[in-house]
């Protein structure tokens, strides 16, 4: 593993073969492949492990019947950083621009890095509901990560909003410690994996609140209740100590947009079968892209990272 100190980067302004932006499943996988292709690789991202760090229980990573997200990401990271050709930097990238022979990245610190090609593996951010009280009580009972913060609610009553995997898994995990969990979904059926639906259905302390939306978070210094758009069991408020919002994600496309990469109708970076974007020399991998039919999983993110790395290798070879 190479270390990029600010002094080094000033003295030797390396033009990497590839800069991979992200430190999640897709990015680590791409780095393993680019390193094995002997490409000098800059692996730069803000949060180590990415979204994978919030997966409490992973039962579908091939080869591991059960593993936690953090353990899996630690193994990915150690593998990626075991190569001399991989330079690992923890930084937020604020700007991506085209330059002669490649691309320039500017970090939040003002430092810059240059690479002949880019792989965006920037994942996504949690979607907010945008309702009154949400921002005011964020961190004071409102959370966007049920599996991260659920354990603070031992013996308490909480609500989880959402109908996908994150919400249903989150409710199941919190129900292990909380006294009562309301699982609130605006539709009348969940779209989560049947595995997780079975799990929540078997928990006596989870109550489903279907065909309802949360319209306001109420509190006094911290969350005390949530208001629904329609009454449930005769009341439009539910008294809760915590409210977990797990209503999907928004792809982190800001940097790709700066370079003019085309987005698809769902706002993801549009990629072809080779994970190439609309901008030559720029590739994408993982949750941020339109790839894998928008099926956002560890296995698909890893697969896309692998394909993107192979495409970078072909692209660089074709330019020689």
Ligand X SMILES: Cc1cc2nc3c(=O)[nH]c(=O)nc-3n(C[C@H](O)[C@H](O)[C@H](O)COP(=O)(O)OP(=O)(O)OC[C@H]3O[C@@H](n4cnc5c(N)ncnc54)[C@H](O)[C@@H]3O)c2cc1C
Asked if 192 contacts 167 with a C-beta cutoff of 8 angstroms, the reply is: yes
Using CA atoms, how far apart are residues 230 and 160, in angstroms rounded to an integer? Answer: 17
Binders of ligand X among 103-162, rule CB under 6 A?
Answer: 121-124, 147
145 is catalytic: yes
- Collapsing DSSP to helix, strand or coil, 278 comes out as coil
**Only segment of 49-57, 184-192, 268-276, 311-319 that touches ligand X (CB under 6 A):** 49-57
- Write phi, then psi, for 56 (nearest 5 degrees): -70, -35
Binders of ligand X among 289-318, rule CB under 6 A?
Answer: 296-299, 301
Distances (CA, A) of 212 to 206, 229, 230: 16, 6, 6
Using CA atoms, how far apart are residues 196 and 202, in angstroms rounded to an integer? Answer: 10
Using CA atoms, how far apart are residues 261 and 275, in angstroms rounded to an integer? Answer: 12
CB neighbourhood size of 206 (10 A):
20
One of 35, 133, 287, 309 touching ligand X (CB under 6 A): 287
149 is catalytic: yes
- Collapsing DSSP to helix, strand or coil, 311 comes out as helix
Is 46 a binding residue for ligand X by CB under 6 A? The answer is: yes
Check 85, 149, 165, 241 and give the catalytic one.
Answer: 149
Q: Which is nearer to ligand X, 225 or 256 (CB)?
A: 256
Q: Which is nearer to ligand X, 106 or 211 (CB)?
A: 106
Is 271 a binding residue for ligand X by CB under 6 A? The answer is: no
Tokens of 250: 């928004």
Q: CA 239, 176, 190 angle in degrees (round to 5)?
A: 70
Is 251 a binding residue for ligand X by CB under 6 A? The answer is: no
Q: Would you give the DSSP letter of residue 148?
A: H
Residue labelled with tokens 């698909």: 300
Annotate each residue in 66-105 with x if it binds ligand X (CB under 6 A) or - if it does not, as one string: --------------------------xx------------
Is 25 a binding residue for ligand X by CB under 6 A? The answer is: yes
Report, in Å, the least distance between residue 175 CB and ligand X.
15
Binders of ligand X among 163-192, rule CB under 6 A?
Answer: 166, 169
Adjacent-strand bridge partners of 282: 118
**Only segment of 15-23, 78-86, 215-223, 272-280 that touches ligand X (CB under 6 A):** 15-23
Handedness of CA 144, 145, 148, 153 (dihedral sign): positive
Q: Which is nearer to ligand X, 74 or 236 (CB)?
A: 74
Is 51 a binding residue for ligand X by CB under 6 A? The answer is: yes
Which positions are annotated as active-site residues?
145, 148-149
Q: What are the residues binding ligand X (CB under 6 A)?
A: 21-27, 45-47, 50-52, 54-55, 58, 60, 92-93, 121-124, 147, 166, 169, 252, 255, 286-287, 296-299, 301
């Amino acid at each position: 593993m190479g270390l990029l100190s600010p002094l080094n980067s000033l003295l030797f302004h390396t033009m990497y073969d590839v800069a991979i932006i992200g430190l999640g499943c897709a990015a680590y996988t791409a780095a393993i492949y680019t390193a094995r292709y002997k490409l000098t690789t800059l692996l730069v991202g803000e949060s180590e492990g990415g979204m994978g760090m919030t997966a409490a229980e992973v039962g579908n990573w091939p080869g591991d019947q059960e593993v936690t997200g953090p353990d899996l990401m630690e193994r990915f990271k150690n593998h990626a950083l075991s190569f001399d050709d991989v330079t690992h930097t923890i930084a937020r990238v604020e700007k991506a621009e085209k330059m002669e022979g490649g691309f320039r990245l500017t970090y939040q610190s003002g430092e810059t890095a240059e690479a002949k090609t880019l792989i965006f593996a920037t994942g996504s951010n949690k979607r907010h509901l945008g309702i009154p009280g949400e921002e005011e009580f964020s961190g004071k009972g409102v959370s966007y990560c049920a599996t991260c913060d659920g354990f603070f609610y031992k013996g308490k009553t909480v609500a989880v909003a959402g109908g996908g995997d994150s919400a249903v898994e989150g409710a199941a995990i919190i129900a292990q410690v909380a006294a009562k969990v309301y699982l609130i979904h605006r539709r009348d059926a969940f779209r989560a994996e049947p595995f997780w639906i079975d799990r929540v259905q078997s928990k006596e302390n989870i109550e489903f609140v279907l065909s309802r939306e949360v319209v306001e978070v109420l509190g006094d210094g911290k969350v005390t209740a949530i208001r629904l758009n329609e009454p449930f069991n005769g009341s439009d408020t539910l008294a809760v100590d915590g409210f977990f919002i797990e209503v999907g994600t928004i792809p982190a496309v800001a940097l790709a947009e700066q370079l003019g990469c085309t987005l698809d109708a769902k706002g993801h970076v549009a990629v072809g079968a080779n994970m190439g974007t609309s901008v030559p020399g720029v590739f994408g991998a993982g949750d941020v892209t339109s790839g894998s039919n928008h099926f956002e999983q560890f296995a698909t993110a890893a697969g896309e990272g692998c394909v993107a790395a192979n495409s970078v290798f072909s692209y660089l070879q074709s330019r020689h």
